[in-house]
Amino acid sequence: MTIQFNDETFHGDFTFKNSEWAIKRFPFPFHEDSYMYSVNMEPHTSYRPGSVFERTFDVDEHYVSEMKDRARVLANDPLRCQSLPHMTLAGWDLVELIMEAKAREYPDLFELHKDGNRWRWVNKPLGIDDTFTFLDESTLPYGPMEYITRQTQGDFAVLDQRDDNLWMDAGMVTTQADWSLDFDIGMNFFEWHAPVPKAHEMGIFVRALKFLLNIQQGQPARRLNWTMTVNPLLDTSPENYHKWGTMKQGLTMENIGEKQHLRVELQTFFRLPRSNALVFPIRCYLIRFEDLVTVPKWARRLHRVIRDLPEELATYKGFIDNRPLMVEYLSQFDDGSPTSDGIWPDDD
Amino acid sequence: MSAGTAKLNVTVAEVKPINDLVTRFKFVRTGGGDLPTFSGGAHTVVEMQDGDITRLNAYSLMSNPADRGAYTISVRRDDQGRGGSKFMHSKVKEGMEMVISNPVNLFSLDLRAKKHLMLAGGIGITPFMAQMHQLSMMGGNFELHYSVRTASLGTYAKELAERYPGKVHIYHDDQKEAIDLKTLLANQPLGTHVYVCGPKGMINWVHGTAEEMGWPREAVHSEEFLAPASGKPFEVKCAVSNKIVQVGEHQSLLEALEAAGIDAPYLCRGGACGQCETNVIGYDGKFLHYDHWLTDEQKAGGKHIMPCVSRFEGKTLVLDR
């Protein structure tokens, strides 16, 4: 299937829109009618053809516009992409991982031709055809991590592994849910998670770190995370809070269906072979409430989850003030009937 | 999910005796094709079908990590051991098909280091061989100090000295040569990281000396895989799977669980990585903890055991498996 790429914006006039196809394959994150943290990891293996879990790096109709948005954000703030000097090898590992996966899984969109260390990379959607020498930085227009992540949807945290900990030593972060690479760079796993409420007391991070330290080559893992965003903003960074924070005001029953978005992150974890680093791609999917409620099961469940969410979590996720309005809007679509287990729509 | 399950099907391409104790094995992918790249210091777990017993031993990969055509390992024969190395030496022949794990690295280079100072004892040389390949390709600064019993048992000593002139220093026990560790550590540039792989005594000596001399803990790295100790047979009750498992004299608890079809995660199988940590539900007897993973407090607490190397003596042991 060839993907029709949308021409759309994630700022200003916000012309972002999901097609019927994109709505149907949206990674709805709630498998039951309530939500609490858990180390909800599973192997990142190909699952459910057509879903966002099918490919190693999902490419969808928003690809070209998301990459334009990334370039725009980077032009305004180059510190969204940083790599400490010892992380260059991990950047090359990432180049290899992404190019090999995309060329294998989307042969109509991407091609990789290798002649020893001389590689030719063809990215048809973005009109790129580059030849370079693998492991030789001087042959690419950017550092290896920046080069490939300017061509791949989702944020990327590249984590060095040492002293039984993970260190945020490189990343490309332009589509984040209110965290800052520039602030977190060089921090370890416990330091960058320090602001998260409740989870520390629950021992979540100790268990999660142990799991991540043991992720092996050839055995990637994934989980879903979520929050809420008003307007289809990919860039909800602390650096730009003054621009988007105010957008959370002014929601009404009339406009909430269009403006309020559920924001879901497909987080994956891969061991990188040469550097022994861990790469943590965080792919953001947005869906407006009025599109989400077209799936009856999701509408009922989202109403119950948001209504019953502990106050600390609604505060941390930044929607405590808008919660009453969200619940009022969503309640229209909840007739109280039971919902089936799992995240998938019932008609499947 | 259980770790240690990503497998590679390989064929033995070469079996080459290196000296009286050490034999080198070369694996290629069965049916052709590239093996995964790895990082210097990684090991692979080799599965050995030894009669009714499946043995799983971890061996450091010593070949050039950039060479995806083949992996090589070197195995030192241990006549007192439980039989894994004897199996490799006596049963494994060229052309044989075997199963090995994807590479796992529990002894990786700290790529921030301005200099990598490597201290090897005996067969502990193998992870450094891959690391030196990797560093010399990247233009990294390294130096090897390698202690061997005799020149004839100095596995790869001569070829390493030739391959990396000026960077390799060999010490022969039989000629009363020894690494002058204090002087060596005192003369390193800032930003040096120290790596040690060898017998337990050597590892403790390096950590102890470095600590005395004020080296930061994070700048001293070591790897020691323990071979599971043999011991008296014992019985384990597995509460989750509702099975009673007998652990034989020359079998580890982890091997016994696997043989009983109980899903038990693992990575290093040598008491170092923590992956197989298992909760103890109840016991009446004495633990024989041999691992490097649990703290002394945990070992005394009787709530955890590392089934890859540790054992139990007593009446009853109930595990959360």
Name the one residue in this structure whose structure tokens are 């403790």. Answer: B204
Predicted pLDDT at A211 = 81
Check whether B1 has a pLDDT greater than 50. no
C-alpha neighbours within 13 Å on the C-beta side of residue B239: 11
Contact B1 A214 (CB under 8 A): no
Asked whether residue A27 carries a pLDDT value surpassing 60, the answer given is: yes
Q: What are phi and psi of B308, to 5 degrees?
A: -70, -35
User: So what's the pLDDT on residue A140?
Assistant: 98
Predicted confidence at residue B295, as pLDDT, reads 85
Q: Contact B37/A161, CB-based, under 8 Å?
A: no
Query: Residue A177 half-sphere exposure, CB side, CA atoms within 13 Å?
Result: 23
The yes-or-no verdict on residue A348 having pLDDT over 70 is: no
Q: Does B218 touch chain A (CB under 8 A)?
A: yes
pLDDT tens, position by position, A82-131? 999 999 999 999 999 999 999 999 999 999 999 999 999 999 999 999 99
* Cβ within 8 Å, pair A162-B108: yes
How does residue B14 score in pLDDT terms, banded at 50, 70 and 90?
very high
The whole-angstrom separation of Cα A290 and Cα A157 is 32
B39 neighbourhood in chain A, CB within 8 Å: 273-276
Residues 226-265 of A with CB under 8 A from B: none
Helical spans, DSSP H, in A282-331:
289-292, 296-308, 311-316, 323-331
Among candidate residues B37, B234, B66, the one with its CA nearest the CA of residue B136: B66
Percent of chain A with pLDDT over 70: 99
Q: Which of B229-233, B273-277, B293-297, B299-303 has the highest mean pLDDT?
A: B299-303
Q: Which residues are within 8 A (CB) of B61 and not within 5 positions of it... i.e. 6 or more apart?
A: B38, B42, B43, B44, B71, B72, B73, B103, B126, B127, B130
The answer, yes or no, to whether residue A80 has pLDDT greater than 80, is yes
DSSP string across A109-175: TEEEEEETTEEEEEETTTTEEEEEETT-GGGSSS-HHHHHHTTSSSEEEEEEEETTEEEEEEEE-SS
CB–CB contact B110 A275 (8 Å): no
**Chain A neighbors of B41, CB-CB under 8 A:** 276
What is the sign of the dihedral through the CA atoms of A272, A275, A276 and A280?
Answer: negative
Indicate if the pLDDT at residue A12 is higher than 90.
Answer: yes
Give this prediction's pTM.
Answer: 0.87
| Partner-chain contact A275 B38, CB within 8 Å | no
Please state the rounded mean pLDDT for residues A252-265.
97
A215 to chain B: nearest residue by CA?
Answer: B3
Residue A230 has pLDDT above 70, yes or no: yes
Nearest Cα residue to A145 out of A113, A181, A107: A181
User: Is the separation of the CB atoms in A172 and A67 below 8 Å?
Assistant: no
Q: CA of A265 to nearest chain B CA: how many angstroms apart?
A: 21
Residue A239 is predicted with a pLDDT of 92
DSSP string, A58-74: ---TTHHHHHHHHHHHH
Overall size of chain B counted in residues: 321
Q: Does residue B228 sit at the A interface (CB-CB below 8 Å)?
A: no
Q: How many CA atoms does the CB half-sphere of A121 hold within 13 Å?
A: 24
Whether the CB of A200 is below 8 Å from some CB of chain B: the reply is no
Residue where the block lists tokens 């998301």 = A66
- Write out pLDDT tens, residues B140-168: 999 999 999 999 999 899 999 999 999 99
Winning range, highest mean pLDDT, from A27-41, A55-69, B37-51, B307-321? A55-69
The DSSP bridge partners found for residue B285 are: B314
Q: Cβ of A89 and B138 within 8 Å?
A: yes
Pairing relationship of beta strands B168-172 and B142-148 according to DSSP bridges: parallel
What is the model's pLDDT at position B4?
Answer: 43
Determine the pLDDT at residue B3. 42
Sequence-ordered list of residues with C-beta below 8 angstroms from that of B210, at least 6 positions apart, any chain: B185, B194, B219, B220
Are A39 and A215 within 8 A, CB to CB? no
Q: Residue B243 is encoded by which pair of tokens?
A: 């099975």
Which has the higher per-residue pLDDT, A289 or A38?
A289
User: Torsions phi, psi of A200, nearest 5?
Assistant: -65, -50
Total Cβ atoms within 10 A of residue B190: 6
Question: Is A223 among the residues known to form the active site?
Answer: yes
Write out the two tokens for B110: 């700290």
Q: Is A74 on the interface with B (CB under 8 A)?
A: no
pLDDT at B249: 86
Strand partners, A155: A282
Mean pLDDT of A60-67: 98
Q: How does the average pLDDT of chain B come out, rounded? A: 92
Over the stretch A265-288, which tens digit does the pLDDT of each residue have?
A: 999 999 999 999 999 999 999 999
Distance CA A117, CA B79 (A): 44
Q: Establish, for the pair of chains A and B, how many residue pairs have beta carbons separated by less than 8 Å.
A: 62
Looking at every residue in chain A, the average pLDDT score rounds to 94
